[in-house]
Amino acid sequence: TSSSSSSSSYEDSSTNDLTIYSAAALITADVLGTGILALPHDVKVLGRGLGVLFIVLNLPINLYAGTILCRAADYVEGRMIDEDNNEEGQIWDVNESDDEDEYNDLFLEDESNEAHDNEEEDEEEEEENYKMNLVCNDSEEGGITPTDQKRRLDKRKKKRQKQRRRRDLYEGITASASAAGDSAYSSCADSTNENSMDNELQANPASLSTSPPPSHRHHPHHNSATYDFIGMTSTLFPSTSKTPLRLVLTIYYVNLFLVLGNYILVMSHSVQAVFLNRICLPTAGLIASVLMLFVSQLRTMAKLGRSVSVISLLSLLIVVILCLVSIHSADDNDSTDDNDDQGALFYNQKPLQQGTITTTTMTPIVKKEEEESSFQSMLRQLSALSSICFAIGSQKLLLNIRHEMRVRTEAAPQGLGLSLLVFGLAYIAISLAAGDDPPSFLFDAISPQTSPTKHQIGGLFLWIHVSISYAINSQALCSSIDRRYLHQLASCNLHKHHSLRWFILTLMTSISSYIVANAIPFFGDLVSLIGALTSVPLTLMLPAIFYRRVCHITPVWKFYFDRESITSYVLLLVSLVFLILGLIGSLGSIGLDWEEKKSSPFSCY
């Protein structure tokens, strides 16, 4: 593969010291990024009652998806440690607890090599002993019916088959461990991860089959295999076909590129607001890139999560308060009578020269929603559904954040659950407080004509917030590219100059994001397109696939009547429905906007 190099050539700056609260702040800052600015209008399109209900229903769905994603990662890391111990005499333990369907209760126990080599014979002998014990025990208790005896034996046989399938998967995982370390990201030789693994073992020893000595806790593929979706795919699908890896890699990278382009677009608007809309959008984007590129030099999630994410959330809080005050203030009533026409603020301004001062006028060229046909209205509603999914989806960077946590098993449900609680309540409160007719972009509620100072202050804090949200996603993208491709680049000795290589990588990423932002200058439609095309697969579909793969439910789309299959199967179906409906709505909405607004790529407004 393209990244089969020595581990020593890559410098992993991770400190692995994120707490639950820092991780929750990172997740919240990422999720609230720009989706919260489009959310009130999406709720309005669906109807306030239905929109709020859809938000509430999505919260437990995302919590479940994130939890099973982290369970799958815990499972993989546990098997990696077992492989490092070279305990060839291990067999799958039969757990007689009632909670038999939980995969993480089924771990390897030490047995002799002879027992492992002659497993089938041992199982037959054990079945006979089990039958004898049933008869003896139940005769003392007053007898057992043949039906009950058959039920117990069938239950035990089913469990044996499940354990055998999982052992086969484990052998596939361990056989691909080295390949995952090389082909997924090469090696992460990170000496700081020893303390992280120590803490994880101490915090949740039951989650791993053994407690290996310190010398075995520091292995490159432990981190490569669970660092993000790409590593998990490489490990759980170690077949000769590279299709799963290529598909996930494409979805993951496209999502991050589109998100970064979306953030560039919002930052451009915020800089325009700081200058009272006297500069063109592409020029504002160049100015916005200065702060964005500076914050992006923080190379780890830990550095972004300790304090920078808090600054992002506080800045967003100021922006939202200013927007809500403007919506309800008397001096803004005239300018907010038609919010969709006011949405032309960022897209359809026409500069007029009055002496030496450049001012702008609004041209209401967007059709009113009540004049749209039923088909167009349906497309808007489907687009709104997709945007809400994007605004709530919280699993995209969960593995990246989990990788840098002090205790990785606390990523979900603890860290993720706390984040969902915070931004879920924030979404509901803002949707209810935004009134009956919020603008499609919430920041449009602050009029530059009636409240220029408030408009500038809001633009400044929006710029700060989105710059940090950009840096969080940029870190995930750039670190993945660096691990896979660039850390071996010998030109100009870049493989030795890690900071310089990182700066070049973030610079190239910002340039490409800038192009995307100006090529698709429709904020709401871009959010919808991201949600339909990539966010739904990353946040809902892939967690279900990984979990079913870990549980050895093959093929992954096959339905079984057991607990671990039913819930993950429902999640798989829900994600597929959201993907199809959202994609139809977002593409149709983009077509309507291009026809109505008559805008063009790299337009000034």
Please, are residues 198 and 214 in contact by the beta-carbon 8 Å criterion?
Answer: yes
Helix (H, G, I), strand (E, B), or coil: what is residue 32? helix
HEC string of 333-355? Answer: CHHHCCHHHHHHHCCCCEEEEEC
Please, are residues 381 and 587 in contact by the beta-carbon 8 Å criterion?
Answer: no
What is the per-residue pLDDT for 564?
75
Question: In this structure, what are the phi and psi dihedrals at residue 94, rounded to the nearest 5 degrees?
Answer: -90, 115
Q: How confident is the model at residue 148 (pLDDT cuts 50, 70, 90)?
A: low
- pLDDT one-digit tens code per residue, 21-49: 999 999 999 999 888 888 999 999 999 99
Mean pLDDT score of the chain, rounded to an integer? 74
What is the per-residue pLDDT for 361?
36
Q: Residues 494, 498, 499, 503: is their CA dihedral positive or negative? A: positive
Whether the full predicted model's pTM is greater than 0.75, yes or no, is no
92 pairs with which residues across the strands?
Answer: 108
Strand 108-110 with 90-92, pairing = antiparallel
What is the per-residue pLDDT for 521?
59
Triad 534, 538, 542: Cα angle to 5°:
130
Token pair of 436 as six digits: 């009956």
Instruction: Write the burial class of residue 486 (CB in 10 Å: 0-12 exposed, 13-18 middle, 19+ buried).
Output: middle
DSSP type of residue 367: P
What percent of the chain is modeled with pLDDT above 90? Answer: 35
- pLDDT one-digit tens code per residue, 384-400: 888 888 889 899 999 99
Residue 223 CA to residue 173 CA, distance in Å, equals 14
HEC string of 224-275? Answer: HHHCCHHHHHHHHCCCCCCHHHHHHHHHHHHHHHHHHHHHHHHHHHHHHHHC
Residue 264 CA to residue 260 CA, distance in Å, equals 6
Total residue length of the chain: 605
Kind plus residue range of the DSSP H or E element containing 110 = strand 108-110
- How far CA 452 is from CA of 273, 274, 283, 284, 449, in Å, comes to 9, 9, 20, 18, 6
What is the per-residue pLDDT for 177?
43
What is the per-residue pLDDT for 176?
46
Residue 580 CA to residue 108 CA, distance in Å, equals 41
Residue 443 CA to residue 319 CA, distance in Å, equals 8
pLDDT at 513 exceeding the cut of 50? yes
Domain boundaries of the chain, sorted by first residue: 16-77+242-597
What is the per-residue pLDDT for 2?
39
Please, are residues 116 and 264 in contact by the beta-carbon 8 Å criterion?
Answer: no
DSSP type of residue 520: S
- pLDDT one-digit tens code per residue, 386-442: 888 888 989 999 999 999 999 999 999 999 999 999 999 999 999 999 988 899 889
pLDDT at 180 exceeding the cut of 70? no
Please, are residues 383 and 582 in contact by the beta-carbon 8 Å criterion?
Answer: yes
pLDDT at 347 exceeding the cut of 80? no
Q: Which residues contact 459 (CB under 8 A, 6 or more apart)?
A: 269, 270, 271, 272, 273, 274, 443
Domain 16-77+242-597, classified CATH 1.20.1740.10, yes or no = yes
Most confident range, picked from 53-67, 476-490, 569-583: 53-67
What is the per-residue pLDDT for 336?
44
